[in-house]
């Protein structure tokens, strides 16, 4: 059933990013053609999820394309979003398989992952390049998945606890990428987003919701993931939980910086595509719903891994 869950998550990423590419097709020449190649690779990965070593080849190809900084200049923003989110979901699936089949020093992996999240958050706080910031954010969430899997294996709840982070990140991460995508055209630096709330107040609000969720604030879906993680980690080793909480504080600073920039200053008033406002509204609603009613996600994940 894990394959079915990740098929759904990949489908959500594919549909949302395809809509974004369609909405901005006039502004991103060549985006549609290259996106079709990316979506074809995603489809192949879905078809071969049961044969996870084969799926690993497709996912690794896309991950390697998405992560290197030098490749950013050759990617339109829709393709950058698609590759980044698909890499997060795909790598999370592969890590789940590795932790299920292999034996590792999970205690050491958990400590390294917690320290890595803290270090990455510090870089994120200082980063002004928009795409690098988003890659750091993406890598942090993937590392959170590794931390979740490590702790989940130690406490014996690999299925639910090991997948709750990527489940929630699929919605919050997409919301961050797509709401920022409304403002990010022809912009390279975060500082250039100043006053973006003038462009589209609704999408600015949706971006703030994504940032607050990714920062782990109560009332949003990723808080549920982090609360479950820290509670389980405390029973294994309080030190891991303390590092995780410290990382969450750094992440609040990192994401609040983005919210602050969007709210301050005067930007150029432009019309955001209605279809993107609608997609972001749906994602924001899911982020809030899963945050205030956490039993929904636990019922879903428990059903998948029952």
Q: What is the 3-state secondary structure (H, E, C) of 121-173?
A: HHHHHHCCEHHHHHHHHHHHHHHHHHHHHHHHHHHCCHHHHHHHHHHHHHHHH
| Residue-averaged pLDDT of the chain | 82
Angle of helix 158-183 relative to helix 77-101, nearest 10 degrees? 170
* Closest C-alpha to 131, from 86, 40, 89, 193: 193
The tokens for 148 are 């979740």
Pick 212 or 265 by higher pLDDT. Answer: 212
| pLDDT for residue 120 | 94
DSSP one-letter code for 273: P
pLDDT in tens, 113-165: 999 999 999 999 999 999 889 999 999 999 999 999 999 998 887 778 888 99
Answer for the pair 193, 35: CB distance below 8 angstroms, yes or no: no
3-state helix, strand, coil in the chain (%, to 5): 80, 0, 20
**What pTM, to 2 d.p., does this model score?**
0.85
| pLDDT for residue 72 | 47
Q: Indicate if the pLDDT at residue 169 is higher than 60.
A: yes
* Closest C-alpha to 219, from 286, 292, 150, 297: 292
Pick 197 or 294 by higher pLDDT. Answer: 294
Q: How confident is the model at residue 24 (pLDDT cuts 50, 70, 90)?
A: confident
Measured between alpha carbons, how far is 245 from 231 in angstroms, rounded to an integer? 11
| pLDDT for residue 218 | 92
The tokens for 75 are 């990617």
pLDDT in tens, 247-293: 999 999 999 988 888 887 665 656 778 889 999 999 999 999 999 99
Residues 6+ apart with CB under 8 A from 201: none
Q: How confident is the model at residue 93 (pLDDT cuts 50, 70, 90)?
A: confident
Tell the residue number behind the tokens 């969430």, with chain if given. Answer: 141
DSSP one-letter code for 271: P
| pLDDT for residue 38 | 58
* Closest C-alpha to 304, from 144, 158, 181: 158
pLDDT in tens, 35-49: 555 556 556 655 555
């Amino acid at each position: 059933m894990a394959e079915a869950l990740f098929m759904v998550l990949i489908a959500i990423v594919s549909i949302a990013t395809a809509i974004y590419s369609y909405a901005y097709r006039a502004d991103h020449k060549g985006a549609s053609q290259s996106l079709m190649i990316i979506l074809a690779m995603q489809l192949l990965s879905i078809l071969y999820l049961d044969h996870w070593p084969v799926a690993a080849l497709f996912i690794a190809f896309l991950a390697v394309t998405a992560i290197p900084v030098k490749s950013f200049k050759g990617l339109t923003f829709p393709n950058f979003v698609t590759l980044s989110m698909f890499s997060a979901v795909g790598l999370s699936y592969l890590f789940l398989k590795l932790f299920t089949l292999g034996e590792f020093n999970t205690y050491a992996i958990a400590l390294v992952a917690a320290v890595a999240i803290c270090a990455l958050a510090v870089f994120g706080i200082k980063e002004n390049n928009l795409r690098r910031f988003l890659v750091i954010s993406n890598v942090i969430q993937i590392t959170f998945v590794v931390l979740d899997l490590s702790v989940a294996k130690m406490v014996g709840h690999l299925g639910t606890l090991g997948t709750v982070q990527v489940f929630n990140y699929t919605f919050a991460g997409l919301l961050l990428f797509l709401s920022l995508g409304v403002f990010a055209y022809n912009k390279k630096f975060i500082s250039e987003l100043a006053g973006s709330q003038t462009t589209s107040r609704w999408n600015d609000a949706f971006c703030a919701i994504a940032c607050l969720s990714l920062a782990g604030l109560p009332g949003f879906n990723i808080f549920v993931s982090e609360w479950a993680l820290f509670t389980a980690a405390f029973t294994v080793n309080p030190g891991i939980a303390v590092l995780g909480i410290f990382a969450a504080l750094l992440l609040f600073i990192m994401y609040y910086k983005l919210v602050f920039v969007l709210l301050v200053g005067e930007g150029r008033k432009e019309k955001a595509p209605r279809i993107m406002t609608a997609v972001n509204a749906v994602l924001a609603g899911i982020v809030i719903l899963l945050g205030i009613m956490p039993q929904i996600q636990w019922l879903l994940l428990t059903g998948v891994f029952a």
